[in-house]
Structure formats: C-alpha cells, structure tokens
Structure 1
Amino acid sequence: MKRPHPHSHPALGWLLAAATCCGLSACGGTQRHPETGLEVPALPSSAPPAAEISVLMLGNSHTSAQALPQQLEGLLRARFPGQSVAVVEAPNWLFLDERLSDPLSQKLLSSQPWRAVVLQAQKYSSSGAYHYSTAAAEQWVQAVRRQQALPLLFPEWPRRGIDETARIYELHVSIARKQPACVAPIGQAWDLALQRHPELRLHASDGNHSAAAGAHLAALMLYATLTGDSALALLPLLPELHGISTALQTQLRQIAADTAARVPPRQHCPKDGPL
C-alpha cells in the first residue's frame, strides 16, 4: 500500500486529543509536539481579529515549522507599513481532504473577509507511483473564491537529496488548471539556492522539514506570489527574530527574486490582482 508523502505529519491522534482537551475556548497560541518538538497551532481562544491585510494558512507541520507564518507576516508588514497585517494559521495539522470535514477550518475560513488563503498539505505519493485525488484541493480553491479571497497553492520543497521538485509542482499546477489559483514555486527556489550555495542548511535534521533559512525562503516565495513584488525590494528582518543573519537574508532574497523571474508565481492566477 502506498502512503501519503511524509510531508504530511502522521501524529494526528495526538492533535485530536489536544483539540478535545482544549475545546473551543480554553486554548490559543501554540503547543509543542511531544515527539518532534515542533510547535503546533493550538485552538484559538476566539476568532482572530480582522486586519486590512489578512492571510489564512491551512496546512500541516510544514506550514508550522520555524515560524513560517510569522516570517510571512513580518515580510508583509514591511511591505504594507501603516496597515494592519495578520497571518493566521489554522489549528491542527491536517491534509486538505481532512480539512473539508473539519468544522474549525470551515468556521475560520468564513470568520472574516480574508485577502488570501494559503493551501498546503495535498496528499501525494513519496514514490510517485500512487495517485491521490486533488478533488479536495479543488474544492478548497472554490471555497476560498466564494469568500472573495485569493487562493494560493503551496507546493512543498523536495526532501533532501531527492529530485522531486517538478513532480510536486506539476501536481499543484494540475489543480490550478482546473480551479485557477496562484502556485508558489517554492521547490524551485530551494533547488536554486542549493545549486548556488550547497553549504546552505535549508532542511531540518530529518531531511524533510525546513530549517530556519528554508522556512524564510518559502516565506519569501509566498510573499512574492501574494504581492507580485520582487523580494529584492524588501529590507532584511531583524536577524534576532528568526536566527537568520542579514547577510543570509540578502542571499535568500536574491534567490527568491531570480526564481520568480524564471517561474512566475502568478502565471496560473493571471486575472487576480496582488494584495
């Protein structure tokens, strides 16, 4: 039997137990997973406040790791000074097909007028030999558009040492061909970074999740996709916030800009305006 790609985290039982324990009014912020040590988005204590620039992220541990949502929020704050910005991560780590029947995800989507929704955690085979339906992702794109928000598909980066960027990206492009959505070329940015700078540590020790620099590069590609802007126009974030030096941030911004020039991130959502 083929399994979903390991980018989707298997420890859903612990998460469901945590959700049951917390209920809808007792939790907020994050919880730390006992096995991986990664911070898990906890159930919100209340609906997130509306912001002028609001982005919802629906994903799993690849969205959570290394404060990727917070990094994206920091980039958007730099781009939109004087405006309120909120990047909100949906609770729990779930596949997109599981989120269709998750009342918390559905409630969060309809809780406010989001400007954009980032969709990550499409199931796919680690070997490439098995096909998983993309129907749920297509339904999510439709649901996001009904909310008059921009749908953005988040193809995950390749595992360390495995040539799978094109396969992962094309799977998400196939979704966008059926239901138009932006597709961030995140894997291509990682490939370019490691081609130019093999010493960069983009992967965590498991060879699957991101290290801080990898999450920052992913956030830069999401930023470029959302705004249509070059990452080169950004000033570096404060390095103490995420443990990434200003020199490394500059390096990653150049890679993000060059990747966006090679693989336009908005080519599959040409009728949608930027944030």
Structure 2
Amino acid sequence: MKKFLLLFFLLPLTIPCLLAQDSISVLFIGNSYTYVNDLPGTLGSLASSLGKEITIDSKTNGGFTFQNQVNDPLTFSKIHSKPWDVVVIQGQSQEPSFPDSQVNTQTLPYALQLTDSIWANNSCGNVMYYMTWGRQNGDSQWSEINTFEKMNTRLYNAYMRMADSSDRSMVSPVGRVWSYVRANHPTINLYNADQSHPSLEGTYLAACTFYTSLFQQSPVGSNFYGGLNSATAGILQNAAALVILDSLDHFHLHPVDEPTQADFSMVQNGETIQLTNESSRAVTYSWNFGDGQTATTTDAQHVFSSNGNYTVQLIATSSCNSDTMSIQVNVTSLGLSDLNVEQVRMITHDEFMEVMSNEPGFSLEVWSVDGRTLFEKQEVGQIPLSIPRINQVQLFRFTNSERAAKVVRIF
C-alpha cells in the first residue's frame, strides 16, 4: 500500500477499500465477550450481506486470560490448524485495565507469545487485537477504573501498547467505537443485564467494528441487522465507519494481504537528512533519495549537493509483499552562513522558550524533527519572543535578506 508524504503530510495514494480482500480467513481466540450472542457468526452474516466472504473459526473459553490461552494446548492446535489470514486475540475483560506493573508481568508477555506463535504458523498472516470496552459503571475494585470512562481509557491504552509491542499488530477498536455510541446515542443499551457482557446491540456493534477493521470499508448499507431494527443497526454501522475509517494508520489497519508496511521518520538539517526506518515486518529496504543516489541500509543518512525539491522514497519488502512510502524534501539552505549563530539567544522555561536576536530585522522559523513548520514570525528583534516549548529536537532558523543563523536545540 503506497503512501506519500507531500509537504510533510501523509497522504495515501490509493483508496483503502480497493485494496482489501473480498475473502479472508479469521480465527477468534478469546472468551465470553466473543461467544455471547455469537460475535463470529454475526460478523460472518454482516460480511456476507456486503459481498464479502469470511471463513471463521473460534477458540473461546469463559474468563480466559492471555496466560490461560498460552497454557492451553488447544489454543495452539487452533492456531496451527491452517494458515489464517487474521487471528484475533482478546484478553479477559478486566486484565488489561489493571495496574501497569501487573499488565507487564501477567498480560503482555503472554499476548506476545501468542503473537509469535501466530506468525510462526503463517509469516504473512496478521494479528488483530480485540480492544474490549469498560463495564457499564466501571470496576469498583480500583479507583483508577471505577467509571466506564476510566476503565475504557485504560483498556484502550493497554491494547494499543500490546499492538505496538508486537511489531505493530492491528487493532479492532471496539472499545473506542463503544465509547462513541455511549456519548452520542445514550438510548442504545450496549450491555446485557450484568453490565459487562454485550447485548445484541453490543455484539452487532462489535461485528460492525470488526468488519470495518478487517476490510477497511464501511458497513453502512448492510441489510443484515442482527435481530435489531433497521434504524438502530444503521446507527451502529455508521458509528464504526466514523470512528475507524479516518484513523486506519492510528490503529495500524491495512489490507490483510499486505502485512509489510513501509514507514520512516526524518530529521532535516539544511542539506542533510537523517532517516530512521520504522517499517513493520520487512526484510529488505531500498532507499531512493531523488537525486540519483540510493542505499539499501536499514536506516540512512544523505547529504544533498544542490538546492531543490527531492522525493525521498523507501521500499520495504518481505516474502509477503512490498510497500512504498515517499517524502518530499525541500533543500534551500545550501550556502547560508552559520557564522552569526551567536546573534541568537534562547532561554528555556518550563512551559515556553524566549527567543531573541541581537540584531533587528530577522525572521524566525521553527521546524519539527519531521520537517513540519511549527512556527513562523517576521521581524524578530531584541524583544524576547515567547514560543511554546516542545520536547523534541527542533531546527530554529533566523534569516534576513543577507544571511541566516541555524540553531539546533534539544530540550
């Protein structure tokens, strides 16, 4: 899936829905949040109504944690029963919301062990974390999760951290869509009587979320309502599309037949760029700097020899697929003198910085590490200029018609 960063904004070159497979195989590994109301069957019927085919199996045990799954040989028998396109894994409804120290020892290692086994079975397969939701009134056993909002936030953070820790596995953000519906459609009850498990509405919402996450397409328009009236089903379909489709990268969602994803960050200092490879599940890398020079290293550094606009491209490749990302780089600082850096003074405070020049007539530009212009101010002089403090490397450049001062600061 090609991506292009123009003027330092990431823009997909292709429409995600055109890349998604129409037929995939999915294994659910979870517990009662999956089997109550038959989430896999609901998802299958929803997909079928929209012209998609999903081969689905599940291994669900009531109350099972990630550790329980790892300790059960039947879990691995299911994983290795076929080369699944996607394996969905889910923890016990409370465990990811517990204190970080507990999650770090009792949850995260076992989630990663499952992930490793899934990829060992199919190196081109995908892991998708099932982000569950907070209980209707939270969990009273700990003040940090004693409301829905608190518990839901901790679950969100934990599942995103698990996905980030396993080479950017995908996330089906059911808990995030759940929160949207509760806030915007409070008359729709997503819970059954125990205030924890899903009602029919909750299961249908989860199915819409999984459909959108798996295919990167909207479920709006499906004539399968899962036992609900068409109006309620339509609201839940729309909620999944609204929350997910403009946040695909955030939840690491991509076409399931493209598990390798190209990604990199860049620090530019004048004519020099430092490129840090952040691709996922790639084996080889090919850099093209747009000036006739190339490289095959994991990370790269390059110095341009002349001013101009250059397209810097990375192709990340594995046995599964290749993916491309490009960034447009503008080089304009060649030949500028750094001799007047001493004319620039900066004073760092807790929340802001004071910046001034000893000479009048200078303009100030502040650049982020990835090349975005964060701040511009004309005619900076001896009066201190206050700007927000940002905790990352920045390029401060003072210019006038004759010379420039470049100062790199780390806060």
Q: Which residue of structure 1 aligns with residue 155 of structure 2?
A: 168
Q: Which residue of structure 2 aligns with residue 28 of structure 1?
A: none
Matches within 5 A, 1:3-22: none
Q: Which residue of structure 2 aligns with residue 33 of structure 1?
A: none
Pick from 151, 159, 164 the counterpart of residue 127 of structure 2: 151
C-alpha displacement of 1:125: 6.2
C-alpha displacement of 1:75: 2.1
Q: Which residue of structure 2 aligns with residue 68 of structure 1?
A: 39
Q: TM-score, normalised by structure 1?
A: 0.72
CA distance in 1, matches of 2:203, 2:190: 8
Amino acid at match of 2:135: R
- Could you tell me whether the CA contact under 8 Å between 1:236 and 1:250 is conserved in 2? no
Q: Which residue of structure 1 aligns with residue 77 of structure 2?
A: 107
1:178 aligns with 2:165: yes
1:142 aligns with 2:116: yes
Q: TM-score, normalised by structure 2?
A: 0.49
Unaligned residue ranges in structure 1 (runs of 5+): 1-51
Q: Whose radius of gyration is greater, 1 or 2?
A: 2
Deviations 1:54-88 (A, max 9, x none): 2110001111111111111112223445x5x3221
Q: Which residue of structure 2 aligns with residue 47 of structure 1?
A: none
- Could you tell me whether the CA contact under 8 Å between 1:236 and 1:249 is conserved in 2? no
Provide closer, same or farther for how the CA distance between residues 166 and 205 of structure 1 changes in structure 2, counting only shifts above 3 A.
Answer: same
1:215 aligns with 2:185: no
Greater RCO, 1 or 2 (C-alpha within 8 Å, sep 6+):
1
CA distance in 2, matches of 1:217, 1:91: 19
Provide closer, same or farther for how the CA distance between residues 71 and 266 of structure 1 changes in structure 2, counting only shifts above 3 A.
Answer: farther
C-alpha displacement of 1:166: 1.9
Provide closer, same or farther for how the CA distance between residues 128 and 166 of structure 1 changes in structure 2, counting only shifts above 3 A.
Answer: same
User: 1:66 is paired with a residue of what secondary structure?
Assistant: coil
Amino acid at match of 1:201: N
Pick from 170, 177, 184 the counterpart of residue 196 of structure 1: 184
Q: Which residue of structure 1 aligns with residue 58 of structure 2?
A: 89
Provide closer, same or farther for how the CA distance between residues 105 and 129 of structure 1 changes in structure 2, counting only shifts above 3 A.
Answer: closer
C-alpha displacement of 1:96: 1.5
- Could you tell me whether the CA contact under 8 Å between 2:96 and 2:154 is conserved in 1? no
CA distance in 2, matches of 1:57, 1:195: 28
- Could you tell me whether the CA contact under 8 Å between 1:100 and 1:136 is conserved in 2? yes
CA RMSD of aligned residues (A): 2.4
C-alpha displacement of 1:91: 4.5
1:58 aligns with 2:23: no
CA distance in 2, matches of 1:130, 1:178: 16
Counting matched residue pairs gives 218
- Could you tell me whether the CA contact under 8 Å between 2:31 and 2:60 is conserved in 1? no
Amino acid at match of 1:109: I
C-alpha displacement of 1:262: 5.2
Q: Which residue of structure 1 aligns with residue 305 of structure 2?
A: none
C-alpha displacement of 1:260: 0.7
- Could you tell me whether the CA contact under 8 Å between 2:136 and 2:195 is conserved in 1? yes
- Could you tell me whether the CA contact under 8 Å between 2:29 and 2:58 is conserved in 1? yes
- Could you tell me whether the CA contact under 8 Å between 2:76 and 2:117 is conserved in 1? no
Provide closer, same or farther for how the CA distance between residues 79 and 173 of structure 1 changes in structure 2, counting only shifts above 3 A.
Answer: same
1:258 aligns with 2:258: no
Provide closer, same or farther for how the CA distance between residues 111 and 187 of structure 1 changes in structure 2, counting only shifts above 3 A.
Answer: same
Deviates more, 1:163-172 or 1:120-129: 120-129
User: 2:189 is paired with a residue of what secondary structure?
Assistant: coil
Please identify which structure carries the higher strand content.
Answer: 2
C-alpha displacement of 1:194: 1.5
Provide closer, same or farther for how the CA distance between residues 200 and 186 of structure 1 changes in structure 2, counting only shifts above 3 A.
Answer: same
Provide closer, same or farther for how the CA distance between residues 203 and 215 of structure 1 changes in structure 2, counting only shifts above 3 A.
Answer: same
Deviations 1:6-31 (A, max 9, x none): xxxxxxxxxxxxxxxxxxxxxxxxxx
User: 1:206 is paired with a residue of what secondary structure?
Assistant: coil
Unaligned residue ranges in structure 2 (runs of 5+): 1-22, 138-147, 260-411
- Could you tell me whether the CA contact under 8 Å between 1:152 and 1:182 is conserved in 2? yes
1:230 aligns with 2:223: no
C-alpha displacement of 1:111: 0.8
User: 2:38 is paired with a residue of what secondary structure?
Assistant: helix
- Aligned-residue identity in percent: 24
Amino acid at match of 1:209: H
Amino acid at match of 1:54: S
Deviations 1:129-167 (A, max 9, x none): 762230110111122122222110001111113212221
Please identify which structure carries the higher helix content.
Answer: 1
Amino acid at match of 2:112: E
Amino acid at match of 1:268: H
Q: Which residue of structure 2 aligns with residue 267 of structure 1?
A: 251
- Could you tell me whether the CA contact under 8 Å between 1:116 and 1:151 is conserved in 2? yes
Q: Which residue of structure 1 aligns with residue 230 of structure 2?
A: 246
- Could you tell me whether the CA contact under 8 Å between 1:160 and 1:203 is conserved in 2? yes
